Amino acid sequence: MSHGGRPLLVGLAYLAPSLILFAAFVFIPLGRTFYLSFFNTRSTGAPTSFAGLDNYLELLTSEAFRTGIVATVLFTLYTVPLGIALGLVLAVLLDAPLRAIGVFRTIMSSTIAVSAAVGSLIWLLLFNPSLGLLNHMLSLVGIAGPQWLIQPQTAILAVSVTTIWLTLGTNVIVLLAGLQGVPQEIYEAARLDGARGLRMFTRITVPMVSPSLFFLLVVDTIAVLQAFTQIHVMTRGGPVDTTRVLVYSIYLDAFQNFQFGFASAQAVILFVIVLALTVIQFRVVERRVHYQ
Amino acid sequence: MRHLPNYVVLVIVALLVAFPLLLALSYSLMSESEIATFPPPVLPQAPSLDNYATVFSTIPIGRYLLNSFVVAGAVVAGQIVTASLAAYAFSFLTYPGRTLLFFAFLSTLMIPWEATIIPNYITIRSIGWLDTYQGLAVPFMATAFGTFLLRQGFLQIPKELHDAARIDGASSFRFFRSIVVPLSRPALATVAIYAFLSTYNQYFWPLLITNQPLMRTTQVGIAQLRFEETLRWGLVMAGVVMVAAPTLALLIVGQRQLIRGLTSGAVKG
Amino acid sequence: MVVLVAAACGGGGPVGAGPSDLSAQAPGKDVKPAAKITWWHAMSGVNNDAVNRIVDGFNKSQTNIKVEAIFQGNYDDLLAKLNTAIASNSAPALVQVYDIGQAYMRDGGQIVPMQAFIDRDKFDTKDFEPAVLNYYKFQDKLQSMPFNSSSAILYYNKDAFKEAGLDPEKPPATFTEVADAAKKLTKKDAGGQVSRYGFGPSIYGWLFEQLLATSGAPYADKGNGRDDRATKVLWNSDAAKKILSWWKAGVDGGYFYNPGIDNDGAANAFNAQKTAMYIESTARLRGHINTVAGKFQIGTGLYPRPDDKPKDGGNIIGGASLYIMKSRPADEQQAAWEFVKYVLSPAVQAQWQSDTGYYPIVKAAYNEGPSKEWASKYPQFLTAVNEIRDSPQNRATNGAVLGVMPQARQRTQKMIEVVLLGQATVDAAADAAVNDINAQIDKYNKANP
C-alpha cells in the first residue's frame, strides 16, 4: 500500500488525459522546435545544414535581441502589476452585496469576451494621434496628447494599456472568485479586533486572496510574455523596434522572413526565460501566499 | 441611499471599463463618412443598421458563430474533465515527482505559440482532421491554466474533509467526485468561462486548419471584414459587436452561476 | 548570355534560366485539365465578391473545370499558410501572392512560371500593359500572372487648394512643389494647434520604393535584383538621401503630418480633412470617394518626384499576382492556366476593374462597357492610368526583387522613423539600414542556394 510505485500510478492515472494531449500537441512540437534551432533552414522550414550553436550565438550577440529583451521587460513591468492591482480594486468594489451588483460584475469582467484582435482594433482607433478620441478628450481639458503609437517612449505604454484592459476581465473574475471564498467570520473577527478600511485591506483581504493574486501573477506574466496580437495590430514592433518583444520577433522570423531555424532558437530562449521567471516566482513569492 | 456613493463609483468605473466596447457599438451604427471626420465623433447622428446588413451579406456570420460555439463548447467539456482530474492529482495526491510534473504542466503555458503551430498543423493534417470540429478542438482540451486555477482552489479545501473521507473508507475518486468537485463550483465555472472565451477568440489556428467556408470561425470572419486596401471601421465594428454579443450574454449567465454556487453555501461551511 | 550569367552565379535556382523557351516546364499541350482546382486568395469584402463573380463566370462558361476560390486571410497570413501547406504537400493549384513575395515564390522552386505556358501556347501578350508585366518578370521571363495591380499617386483636397489660394487643377509634382504647397495648406486654429497639415504620408516602405523609382534610382543592385539575385541594397544613394531629407524637413517644419506606419490612419486623416494631400495606392481611390461623399472634391496628381524630374523616373506597379504551383499534378496546372486565360479576357478584366478599382492588365479592357463606366464615374483614375503608361520601363521602375523584401520593407520603415524622430542623421540612418539588410541578404542567399 505504501509502495512508491502505486501512488505514482494513481497520480499518473489522473494526469493521463492531460499528459497525452500535452505530449502530442505541445511537447513533441517543442522537441521539433528545439531540434530545428540547431539548423539552417530553407524558406519552407526544411533543414539544410547543421548550424550547431550558430543561431544562438548570432542571437545573443545581436543588438536586435537586446532591444527585444528590453522591450519585453518593460512591457511586462508596465502591464502585470498594474493589471493585477486594478483587478483587485475592482474586485473589492464588486464584492459588496449591493442590489444589481451582478450587472456591474458582468460589465467589469466583459473585457474577457473581447478577443485580443478586436480589442487592439478598438484601442488603435482610440490612440490615433489626431483622429482618436483619447487625444481629443485630453485636448478638451487642455492637455496635448502625445503621438501615442508613433513616439518610441509612448508606444509601449499604449500597448500596455490595451493589454491591461484586455486582461482586466480575467483578473476581476479570478480575484472576485477568490474574495468570495473568504468566510465572513474572518472579517467579523478582524472588525471586532478594531480593523478598518485600509488596515482591513492589507492585513486581511490581501493575504486571504493571495492564492488568487499569486495565480494571476504567474499566469499574467506568462501571458504578457506571449502577447502577440496587440503588437501586430497596433505597432508591428515599432516605432524603431521599441515594441518588438521577443514573441513578436519570433513571429517575424518564422512567418514573414521564413527563417525557421533562427526563429526556433529565439523560441527556445523565450521558453527558458519564461520558465526561469516562473520558477523564481514559485520559489520566492509562493512562500508568502497564505493557503487556508 | 446609504449606498449611493458606492453606486456612483461603480457606475463611473463601469463606464470607463466598458467605454471601448460602447465606442465599438456606437461606430457600428455610423456610416464611413461620419466616422472620417475631425473632431472624432462619439455618438451617431443618424444611427443605422446598414453595417450589420453588410456583415450578413459579406460573410456567413451565422455559420461562423455556430462553429465557434460548437468548438468552444467541446473544449470547455474537455478542459473541465482533464483539468479537474489533474488538479486533484496536484493537490490531494502525493507521489514522487509531483512537483516536477506540475512544472511540466506549467511549462506548456510558456511555449511560444509559433513553436507549436506548424508541427500541430502537420499532425492534424496527417490524421485527416483538417476542416473538422475535432481538429479545431482536441489540441486545446488540456489546460495548464485551468489545472493551475483549480489546484489553487482545491488547496483551499480543508485537509480534515479529506481525512474524514478516508476514514470513512471512501476511495480517492469518490472523494474527488462527491466532495471536491461540488465544492469548487466557482473555480470550475471560471475555468469554463475562460476556456470558452479563449477558444472562441482564436484566429490563427482556425485559419490554418480550415479551408471550407462552412467550417470557419468568428475571428476569421472578422478578418474578412478587414479589407486589404481600405479599412471600413463601421463595418468592422458591426462584426465585432455581433461576435462579442453572444459571449457577453454567456458571461451574464456565468455570473449568475458564480453567485448561485456561493449562496448555496457550497464553498465554505 | 542569360545562360552564362546563370552558370556564373551557381545556377538561378531550381527553375534555372537556361533555355530561352520555357515550354518544357509546362504540362504537354494535350494534357486534359483537371475537373476541379483550388485557388487561394486574400481578397476580402467587395473584392471577395468580385473574385467570386469571376469564378462563377468561369465555372458557368464551361463544364470541364470547376474552380473553388478560398479566402485565406490577408496577404501575410495567406503566405504563412501557403508556406505551411507547401511543407506538408497540400498547396493549392493557384495562389495569389503579394508583389514582394516574388523572390520567395521563385527561389523556393515551387512554381511553374507563367512564361512556360506562354511559350508553349505562343500566347500573345502584346496587348498587356508593359509596366504590369515587367514587374513580374525575372531575367525577362514572366513568373506569375498579374492579377490585382495598383500604383501610387498623389491625392489632394481641391477645396483646400482653393481656400489656400492654390490652383485646384494644378497639383504639385516635385518635392519642392509639394513642400511649398504643403506650407500654404497648413493652417492653425485659434489655440495655435495645427488643424490641418499640408501633406501627410504614412511611413510605408512601398511609398519609399515608389519615391526611389520616380527618382530613377534602383533599390538594390544587379538590376534591382532582376538580372540576377541582388547582393546589396542601395538606400544610401544620393537620391535616397534626398528623399529622406525632404521628408524630414517637412515634418520638422510642421507642414508634413506624421501618421506613423498606420496607412489606414493616413487615409482617414485625409478623409477627415486633417491633411490636404497624401500619397497612397490607386486602389484606395474609390474608397475615398465613397467615404468623403462629396464633403470635398478629391483630386489626383502624379506621384512626387525630384525637382529635376529625372527622365528615368517612373512608378512601380504594386498589388498581387497569381502563381501556378509545381507540386500539383499536370492536369491541375493545365486547369489553372485555362482559368488564368479566362481572367485575362477583356470583358472579365473590365468587370474586375469596375468592381475593385485595380488596373486592367490588358489594354483592350478599357474599351469594354464596365471600364468606360468606371472612367466616367471616377475621372480621377485617369491620372493613375496615364502615370503608369507614361512611366519609362527600366530596372528602377520595374521595382526591386529581393528574397528578403518583407524585411527590407520593414527596415526602410525603421530607417524613416529614425530620421523623422531625429534619432540619427540621414547619412547614419541610411548606412545603418543598408548594413542590416545586406547582412540579411547574405544569410538568405546562403540558406537558399
Query: Are residues A256 and C272, on separate chains, in Cβ contact within 8 Å?
Result: no
A203 to A186, A194, A213, C38: CA distances (angstroms)? 11, 12, 15, 65
pLDDT digits (tens, 9 = 90+) for A152-189: 889 999 999 999 999 998 898 888 888 887 888 888 88
> In Å, how far is B208's CA from the nearest CA of chain C?
6
The residue type at B68: S
Cα C353 from Cα C375, distance rounded (Å): 10
CB contact under 8 A, C83 and A255: yes
User: What is the Cα–Cα distance from C262 to C266, expressed in whole angstroms?
Assistant: 6
Distance CA C99, CA C148 (A): 10
Q: Give the C-alpha separation, B58 to B225, whole Å.
A: 8
| Cβ atoms of residues C259 and A129 within 8 Å | yes
Nearest CA in chain B to A17: B82
SS (H, E, C) chain A: CCCCHHHHHHHHHHHHHHHHHHHHHHHHHHHHHHHHCCEEECCCCCEEEECCCHHHHHHHCCHHHHHHHHHHHHHHHHHHHHHHHHHHHHHHHHCCCCCCHHHHHHHHCHHHHCCHHHHHHHHHHHHCCCCCHHHHHHHHCCCCCCCCCCCHHHHHHHHHHHHHHHHHHHHHHHHHHHHHCCCHHHHHHHHHCCCCHHHHHHHHHHHHCHHHHHHHHHHHHHHHHCCCHHHHHHCCCCCCCCCCCHHHHHHHHHHHCCCHHHHHHHHHHHHHHHHHHHHHHHHHHHHHCCCC
Closest by Cβ to B121, choosing from C72, C84, C274: C84
Residue indicated by cell numbers 449562496: B263
Q: Which three cell numbers stand for residue C391?
A: 512611366
Evaluate whether B200 touches B72 at the Cβ level (below 8 Å): yes
Residue C2's pLDDT is: 35
C109 SS3 class: coil
- Return the closest-CA partner of residue C370 out of C53, C36, C32: C53
Whether the CB-CB separation of B246 and B66 falls below 8 Å is answered with no
Query: N- to C-terminal Cα distance for chain C?
Result: 21
Low-confidence ranges of chain C (pLDDT < 50): 1-17
Q: How far apart are CA A183 and CA A192, in angstroms?
A: 15
Q: What confidence tier does B117 reach under pLDDT thresholds 50, 70, 90? A: confident
Q: Where are the domains of chain A?
A: 63-286
Residue of C nearest to B122 (CA): C88
- Write the DSSP symbol of residue C28: P
DSSP secondary structure, B10-79, as one string: HHHHHHHHHHHHHHHHHHHTS-HHHHS-SSPPSS-SS--SHHHHHHHHHS-HHHHHHHHHHHHHHHHHHH
Cβ-based contacts of C44 with chain B (< 8 Å)? 223-228
Copy the grid coordinates of residue C198: 499640408
CA distance C125 to chain B (A): 28
Q: Which of residues 102-141 of B touch A (CB under 8 A)?
A: 103-116, 118-120, 123, 138-139, 141
Residue C38 has φ and ψ, to the nearest 5°, of -110, 145
Cα C66 to Cα C339: distance, rounded to the nearest angstrom:
9
Q: Which of B108, B112, B256 sits opposite A22 (nearest CB)?
A: B108
Query: How many CB atoms within 10 Å of residue B255?
Result: 22
Q: Which chain B residues are within 8 Å of C43, Cβ to Cβ?
A: 228
CB contact under 8 A, B116 and A29: yes
Strands C275-281 and C152-157: antiparallel
- Residue C69: phi, psi to the nearest 5? -95, 130
**Position of cell 471600413?**
B232
The residue extents of the domains of chain B are 1-48, 59-263
C-alpha cell at A221: 506574466
Measure Cα distances from B116 to A172, A228, A262, B101, C276 in Å: 30, 15, 15, 20, 47
3-class SS string, B75-143: HHHHHHHHHHHHHHHHHCCCCCCHHHHHHHHHHHHHCCHHHHHHHHHHHHHHCCCCCCHHHHHHHHCCC
Distance (Å, whole) CA C176 – CA A277: 55
How many contacts does B have with C, using Cβ atoms within 8 A? 84
Task: Indicate yes or no: CB of B149 within 8 angstroms of CB of A181.
Answer: no
* Interface check A138 vs C, CB under 8 A: no
Element (H, E) at C66: strand C66-71
CB contact under 8 A, B18 and A131: no
Between the two ends of chain A, the Cα-to-Cα distance in Å is 29
Residues of chain B with pLDDT > 90: what percent? Answer: 28
Query: How open is the CA angle A174-A179-A183, to the nearest 5 degrees?
Result: 140
**Per-residue b/e over C188-214, b at no fewer than 16 CB within 10 Å?**
eeeeeeeebbbbbbbbbbbbbbbbbbb
Amino acid identity of residue B196, one-letter, is: F
Question: What cell does C134 get?
Answer: 515587367
Residue type, B65: L
Give exposure, C28-61, as e/b (b: 16+ Cβ within 10 Å): eeeeebbeebbbbbbbbbbbbebbeebbeebbee
Q: What is the distance of C-alpha B266 from the center of its chain?
A: 24
Cβ distance C212 to C409 under 8 Å? no
Complex prediction ipTM: 0.84
B89–A8 C-beta distance less than 8 A: no
pLDDT the model gives residue B229: 58
**Touching partners of B (3+ C-beta pairs < 8 Å):** A, C
Pick from C289, C301, C295, C278: nearest CA to C357: C289
A128 contact residues in C (CB cutoff 8 A): 262, 265, 268
- Taking the CA of residue B28 as centre, how many other CA atoms within 13 Å lie in the half-sphere pointing to its CB? 22
Q: What pLDDT does A142 receive? A: 78
Residue C12: predicted pLDDT: 37
Domains of chain C: 7-150+318-392 (3.40.190.10), 151-315+397-447 (3.40.190.10)
Q: Which chain C residue is nearest to residue A149, measuring alpha carbons? A: C260
Of the options 3.40.50.880, 3.40.1710.10, 1.10.240.10, 1.10.3720.10, the CATH number for the domain spanning A63-286: 1.10.3720.10
Question: If you search the block for the grid coordinates 482618436, which residue do you land on?
Answer: A132
Q: What is the pLDDT of residue B211?
A: 81
Q: How far B95 CA lies from chain C's nearest CA (Å)?
A: 42
CB contact (8 A) between residue C260 and residue A44: no
The chains in contact with chain A, meaning 3 or more Cβ pairs closer than 8 Å, are B, C
Of residues A130, A238, A257, nearest to C261 (C-beta): A238
Which chains does C contact via 3+ CB–CB distances below 8 A? A, B
> C319: closest CA among C147, C154, C104?
C147
What pLDDT is recorded for position B198?
84
B85 touches chain A (CB under 8 A): yes
- Find, among B194, B186, B197, the residue nearest to B153 by Cα: B186
Which residue(s) pair with A47 in the sheet?
A41
The tens-digit pLDDT sequence of chain A (292 residues) is 445 578 888 888 899 999 999 999 999 999 988 998 898 887 777 778 888 898 899 899 988 899 999 999 999 999 999 999 999 999 988 888 888 888 888 888 888 888 888 888 889 888 987 677 888 888 888 777 788 888 888 999 999 999 999 999 889 888 888 888 788 888 888 888 877 778 888 888 888 888 889 888 988 998 899 888 889 888 988 899 999 999 999 988 888 888 888 888 999 999 898 888 888 888 888 887 777 6
CB contact under 8 A, B148 and A119: no
Give the DSSP H/E element, type plus range, for residue C275: strand C275-281
Distance CA C445, CA C221 (A): 14
CA distance C90 to C429: 43
Tell me, yes or no, if B5 comes closer than 8 A to chain A by beta carbon.
Answer: no
Cα distances from C411 to residues A243, C250, C396, in angstroms, run 15, 21, 19
Question: Each residue of C191-229: pLDDT tens digit?
Answer: 778 889 999 999 999 999 999 999 999 999 999 998 889
Verify whether the Cβ–Cβ distance A118 to B119 is below 8 Å.
no
CA–CA dist B103, C224 (Å, integer): 52
Cα A31 to Cα A268: distance, rounded to the nearest angstrom:
10
| Single pTM value for the model | 0.86
Instruction: Kindly state the cell numbers that stand for B82.
Output: 482533464
State residue C408's pLDDT score.
Answer: 94
A235 touches C at CB < 8 Å: yes
How many Cβ pairs within 8 Å bridge chains A and C? 85
Q: How far is the C-alpha of A34 from the C-alpha of C38, rounded, in Å?
A: 34
For the domain made up of B59-263, the CATH class stated in words is mainly alpha
Region for residue B131 given its phi and psi (left: phi exceeds 0; alpha: psi -120 to 50; beta: otherwise): left
At residue B266, the 3 state secondary structure works out as coil
How far, in Å, are A142, C185, C278, C380 from residue C158 at the CA level? 32, 11, 13, 12
A202 interfacial to chain C (CB closer than 8 Å): no
pLDDT given for residue B227 in this prediction: 64
Cell (9 digits) for C394: 527600366
Strand-pair category, C111-112 with C66-71: unpaired
B-chain CB neighbours of C284 within 8 Å are 229-230
Helix pair angle (A63-94, B4-28), 10° resolution: 130
Angle between helices C426-447 and C238-253 (to 10 degrees): 130
